Chains A and B, each alone.
Chain A
């Protein structure tokens, strides 16, 4: 995904009341994360489970919206590589899903192209099945329809459901 789109996507989610961005870096989405750091809104954790734990804590908060007394849950997004997603499975089932805490997972899809580094090949191949096994609804982001995918995720969050947005790794370095 192009730099400009990654940056726009961060700002779009922030504008649409995703308040907290926590995760472990992935070069596939480095501009997205950089935009978060620039806006002083992204937190880098040491492991993916830790990132999810922090995000859950933040999501237990209510944000005051506007000048009204109405309040909304402080929604979080957790970013990670798919290797980190594999690390997180127990935390997703026994914390996020058990307590029904809505959350967006933004996952870089290494191993999407067959010529990616060898350590990503297996996990890249089974990634769609892992998502399915966890009953975590997901959409794959692309440069044309990224806004639609974000709107889909935002709608699910509003309904109290977690979901995943996947950024395929299109390049090899």
Chain B
């Protein structure tokens, strides 16, 4: 499964007014090129902080489901965030980590998820439910299953590297990203 396919599958299971916070690099770029119709905060800089921004949003509006689209390189830069999320336990937070074990946008240098499991770390940090999926059908099954579960939930989606097809940069300005996101509350 490549990242773009995985993101498209995830979108099929996300309601129209659920919130999405997407990490910088190709995660945001793929998401933007697939669909730009939901309330999405594309984090184009500040690598590592998607889960923290998502936590802030989830805490302020417990009635709305918040999906964080993270990457392995991203979350490895902010592992402390997992302990904060696991301590505060927002029921409405779903943390999806697209894990290709490389920093793809900088030339596919390896990350430590080649050796260490993010899912196990999340479990140790008191996430209520954690999953690792490797196939499209299994990812869909878990996405259906979590609709009845309370967060924080982590789904690690193992994806293949793919540097043949590169999504374009996000064409709207950061200030407009913010304003659009806020206007949908």
11 pairs of residues in contact across A and B, judged by CB atoms under 8 Å: A20-B56, A22-B56, A45-B80, A47-B80, A52-B52, A53-B78, A57-B56, A57-B58, A60-B178, A95-B46, A100-B178
User: Of the candidates B46, B52, B54, which one forms a contact with A94 in the assembled complex, judged by CB atoms under 8 Å apart?
Assistant: B46
Let me know if B56 and A58 touch, CB within 8 A: yes
B residues apposed to A, CB below 8 Å: 21, 41, 43-46, 48-61, 78, 80-81, 83-84, 88, 174-175, 177-178, 181-182, 185
A61/B61 in contact, CB under 8 A: yes
CA distance A22 to B59 in the complex (A): 12
A49 with B49: in contact, given A60-B182, A100-B175 (CB under 8 Å)?
yes
Give Cα A57–Cα B55 distance, bound, in whole angstroms. 7
- Bound CA span A64–B59, Å: 16
A62 at the interface (CB under 8 A from B): yes
- A40-75 CB mask vs B (1 if < 8 Å, else 0) is 000101110111111111111110000000000110
Q: Is the CB of A60 within 8 A of B41?
A: yes
In angstroms, Cα B77 to Cα A47, docked, is: 11
Partner of B81, one of A20, A50, A98: A50
Per the bound structure, the CA–CA distance linking A61 and B66 in Å amounts to 13
Tell me which residues across on chain B come within 8 A of A101, comparing CB atoms: 178
- Complex formed: what's the CA distance from A33 to B57 in Å? 22
Q: Distance (Å) between the CB of B32 and the closest chain A CB?
A: 16
Q: Decide: B83 and A46 in contact? CB cutoff 8 A.
A: yes
CB atoms of A62 and B185 under 8 A apart = yes
Residues on the A chain within 8 Å of B185, using CB: 61-62
Min CB distance A127 to B, Å, is 22
8 A Cβ contacts from A67-115 to B: 73-74, 90-91, 93-95, 98-101
